[in-house]
Structure 1
Amino acid sequence: MDHATATFQKHRPRLLGLAYRMLGTQADAEDVLHDAWLRWHQQDANVLDDAEAWLVTVTTRIALDRLRRAKTERQHYTGPWLPEPLVEETEQPEAQLERNESLSLSFLALLERLTAEERAAFLLNQVFDYSHAETATMLQISEDACRQRVHRARQRLREGRPRFTHAPDVQRRLLEKFRDALEEASVPSLQALFAEDAVHLADGGGKVRATLRPLHGGERIVRLYSIIAQRYQALPIVHRLQWLNGAPALLTWVDTKLATVAWIDTDGERITGIHSLRNPEKLARLEAVTNPGADTSLS
Structure 2
Amino acid sequence: MNKIDEFEELRPLLFSIAYRILGSVGEAEDAVQETWLRYDGSATRVASAKAFLSATVTRISIDVLRSARVRREEYVGPWFPEPLLSDPYEDPARSAELADSVSMAALLLLERLSPLERSVFVLREVFDFGFDEVAAAVGRSEAACRQLLVRARRHMRAGRPRFEADGQERQELATRFFDALRGGDVGGLRDLLAADVQLVGDGGGKAPQLARAVSGTENVARLLVSVIPLLARIGVTFEPREINREPGAIFRDRDGKVLHVLALDVVDGQIRTIRSVINPDKLGHLGPVADAWAVDRQVRQARLADHR
For the criterion TM > 0.5, the same-fold answer is yes
Task: Give 1:71 deviation, angstroms.
Answer: 1.2
Match of 1:135 in 2: 134
Match of 1:188 in 2: 187
Is the CA contact 2:209–2:278 (under 8 Å) kept in the aligned structure 1?
yes
Match of 1:285 in 2: 285
With over 3 angstroms needed to count, the CA separation of the structure-2 counterparts of 1:86 and 1:20, relative to structure 1, is same
Task: Give 1:117 deviation, angstroms.
Answer: 1.4
With over 3 angstroms needed to count, the CA separation of the structure-2 counterparts of 1:186 and 1:104, relative to structure 1, is same
1:49 alignment partner, SS class: coil
CA distance in 1, matches of 2:41, 2:231: 54
Is the CA contact 1:164–1:266 (under 8 Å) kept in the aligned structure 2?
no
Task: State the Cα deviation string for residues 157-216 of structure 1 (Å, max 9, x = none).
Answer: 111123563533222222222222222222212211111122222111111122675433
Is the CA contact 1:101–1:166 (under 8 Å) kept in the aligned structure 2?
no
CA distance in 2, matches of 1:259, 1:165: 29
Is the CA contact 2:266–2:273 (under 8 Å) kept in the aligned structure 1?
yes
> What pairs with 1:135-154 in structure 2 (closer than 5 Å)?
135-154=134-153
Structure 1: which amino acid aligns with 2:106? F
Matched, 1:177 2:170: no
CA distance in 2, matches of 1:263, 1:125: 27
With over 3 angstroms needed to count, the CA separation of the structure-2 counterparts of 1:217 and 1:144, relative to structure 1, is farther
Task: State the Cα deviation string for residues 89-112 of structure 1 (Å, max 9, x = none).
Answer: xxxx8x634443222333223321
Structure 2: which amino acid aligns with 1:129? D
**5+ long unaligned stretches in structure 2:** 92-97, 290-308
2:233 alignment partner, SS class: coil
Structure 2: which amino acid aligns with 1:79? G
Match of 1:81 in 2: 79
Matched, 1:273 2:273: yes
Identity in percent: 35
With over 3 angstroms needed to count, the CA separation of the structure-2 counterparts of 1:247 and 1:45, relative to structure 1, is farther
Is the CA contact 1:17–1:97 (under 8 Å) kept in the aligned structure 2?
no
1:100 alignment partner, SS class: helix
Match of 1:96 in 2: 89
Task: State the Cα deviation string for residues 7-61 of structure 1 (Å, max 9, x = none).
Answer: 2112211111101111112111111011111110121342x22222111111100
Is the CA contact 2:13–2:89 (under 8 Å) kept in the aligned structure 1?
no
CA distance in 2, matches of 1:30, 1:190: 37
Task: Give 1:268 deviation, angstroms.
Answer: 4.0
Q: CA RMSD in A?
A: 2.3
2:111 alignment partner, SS class: helix
With over 3 angstroms needed to count, the CA separation of the structure-2 counterparts of 1:211 and 1:244, relative to structure 1, is closer
Greater mean deviation of Cα atoms: 216-225 or 77-86: 216-225
> What pairs with 1:1-299 in structure 2 (closer than 5 Å)?
3-46=2-45, 48-88=46-86, 96-98=89-91, 99-162=98-161, 165=164, 167-210=166-209, 213-232=212-231, 234-255=233-254, 256-288=256-288
Task: Give 1:233 deviation, angstroms.
Answer: 5.1
**5+ long unaligned stretches in structure 1:** 290-299
Is the CA contact 1:175–1:250 (under 8 Å) kept in the aligned structure 2?
no
1:113 alignment partner, SS class: coil
Is the CA contact 2:199–2:211 (under 8 Å) kept in the aligned structure 1?
no
Is the CA contact 2:199–2:274 (under 8 Å) kept in the aligned structure 1?
yes
With over 3 angstroms needed to count, the CA separation of the structure-2 counterparts of 1:26 and 1:113, relative to structure 1, is same
Structure 2: which amino acid aligns with 1:83? P
With over 3 angstroms needed to count, the CA separation of the structure-2 counterparts of 1:146 and 1:230, relative to structure 1, is same
> TM-score, normalized by length of structure 1?
0.85
CA distance in 2, matches of 1:254, 1:226: 18
Task: State the Cα deviation string for residues 61-82 of structure 1 (Å, max 9, x = none).
Answer: 0000001111110011111111
With over 3 angstroms needed to count, the CA separation of the structure-2 counterparts of 1:194 and 1:163, relative to structure 1, is farther
Structure 2: which amino acid aligns with 1:4? K
Task: Give 1:288 deviation, angstroms.
Answer: 4.5
Structure 1: which amino acid aligns with 2:71? E
